[in-house]
Amino acid sequence: MDVHEYTLPDGARPRRLAVAQDGTIYYSDYARGYLGHLDPATGKVEEWASPGGPTSKPYGIAIPKDGIVWYSESGVQPNTLVRFDPKSKQFSTKPIPSGGGVVRNMVATPDGRLYLACSGVNKVAVVDLGK
């Protein structure tokens, strides 16, 4: 086994990871309110400020097969579901109806859905991305 660590920008605290189809890695930076992108082939790191700002506390993250990055902001009320298009570098947000409590985990399914673990409100949310 070989382990290689990649240095992220100073102060970064990645909370969750999602692997894109091209093998690159997106991470939610809970401490600084950023979405990050690491290319393990080159070591290049890109970051974007999350729409909710430095205290937005990004957490759960997933990437469906269409390549769009989805993650939650747990530091805003109500929690938001954030969509990031890697091609256009554009964000959009939608509030989570229950507030979410803190979406610690998120999973994308092959049939175009996201499952969110809304741990603070005792719920699982299902997001149909086709609607």
In a domain? residue 4: no
In a domain? residue 76: yes
In a domain? residue 8: no
Confidence of residue 120 (pLDDT cuts 50, 70, 90): confident
Q: What is the pTM of this model?
A: 0.95
Domain span at residue 54 reads 14-128
Confidence of residue 23 (pLDDT cuts 50, 70, 90): very high
Q: How many domains does the chain have?
A: 1
Arithmetic mean of pLDDT over the chain: 95
> Rg of the chain over CA atoms, in angstroms?
14
pLDDT, residue 100, reads 79
One-letter amino acid at 3 equals V
In a domain? residue 61: yes
Mean per-residue pLDDT, 75-87: 95
Nearest to 108 by CA among 39, 38, 35, 18: 18
- Residue 23: CATH number of its domain: 2.130.10.10
